[in-house]
Amino acid sequence: MSRYLGRPDPVEALARLRAGNVRFTLGTSPPARALNGGVAPQPFAVVVGCIDARVPVEAVFGQGIGAICVVRSAGHVLDRAVMGSVEFAVTDLEVPLVVVLGHDDCRAVAAAYEAVRTGRRPAGARQYLVDEIAPAMPTAGSVDYSLDEATRSHIHRTVATLRQADYLKEALAAHRIDVVGGIYRLESGHVEML
Ligand SMILES: [Zn+2]
């Protein structure tokens, strides 16, 4: 039994995010402080997104203060800090939904896309990002895929990696939690769930 009254199930949580994204695309989102009556509710989702400045996660999902947890890294790359943050949101805050939010024209995915094609990897810590994204490229060795396909594949792979976590297995099987992916379209502001 959840400690939190009114905790939505994963289906309801996703519906809230979809409805918020519609408000965002229509330009009808109220100011963040006005949402939720100024009272911070229990967060109902954790979103793993990219650092891209064009994808402000709370705004994109039309959510105010206190509604969602957000973890961001370039290309939504998972490392232990990101994984630990998601685990914290799920186990301690009991959020029922994990969303991986990619987007089109992602520079981190594009860097990995180029690295796979040219064999040239960036220097420094960016190399870690590229190396983490590169295995998501479809049909390694082939150049017959688009950047959009690579982006989708990377989102699917990130979702699959998160779903493998031991602490999620029981809750996933019981449908108490879900892990889903979406892609944010820069032009329309629409989040397309995958
Ligand atoms: Zn990005």
pLDDT tens-place string over residues 117-138 = 888 989 999 999 999 999 998 7
Question: Tell me: domain 10-104+154-186, CATH 3.40.1050.10, correct?
Answer: yes
Q: What is the DSSP annotation of the chain?
A: --SSTTPPPHHHHHHHHHHHHHHHHHT-PPPTTTGGGG------EEEEE---TT--HHHHTT--TTSEEEEE-GGG---HHHHHHHHHHHHTS--SEEEEEEETT-HHHHHHHHHHHH----STTHHHHHHHHGGGSSSTT---S-HHHHHHHHHHHHHHHHHT-HHHHHHHHTTS-EEEEEEE-TTT-PEEE-
Length reported for the chain: 194
pLDDT tens-place string over residues 138-152 = 765 566 788 999 999
Q: Which of 19-23, 71-75, 97-101, 172-176 has the lowest mean pLDDT?
A: 172-176
Domain boundaries, the chain: 10-104+154-186
Measure 158 CA to ligand 1 centroid, in angstroms. 14
Measure 23 CA to ligand 1 centroid, in angstroms. 23
pLDDT band at 38 (very low <50, low <70, confident <90, very high): low
Query: CB within 8 A of 156, min separation 6: which ones?
Result: 136, 181, 194
Is 147 in contact with 154 (CB distance < 8 Å)?
Answer: no
Tokens for 10, please give them. Answer: 């994963």
159 pLDDT more than 80: yes
CA distance 136 to 158: 9
Q: Which of 30-39, 84-93, 152-161 has the lowest mean pLDDT?
A: 30-39
pLDDT band at 40 (very low <50, low <70, confident <90, very high): low
5 pLDDT more than 70: no
* Sign of the dihedral through C-alpha 126, 53, 45, 38: positive
Measure 104 CA to ligand 1 centroid, in angstroms. 8
Say which residue, 119 or 82, is predicted with more confidence.
82
Tokens for 73, please give them. Answer: 């890294």
Query: CB within 8 A of 167, min separation 6: which ones?
Result: 87, 90, 91
pLDDT band at 1 (very low <50, low <70, confident <90, very high): very low
Residue 126 burial (CB count, 10 A): 14
Measure 85 CA to ligand 1 centroid, in angstroms. 19
Measure 105 CA to ligand 1 centroid, in angstroms. 7
pLDDT band at 185 (very low <50, low <70, confident <90, very high): very high
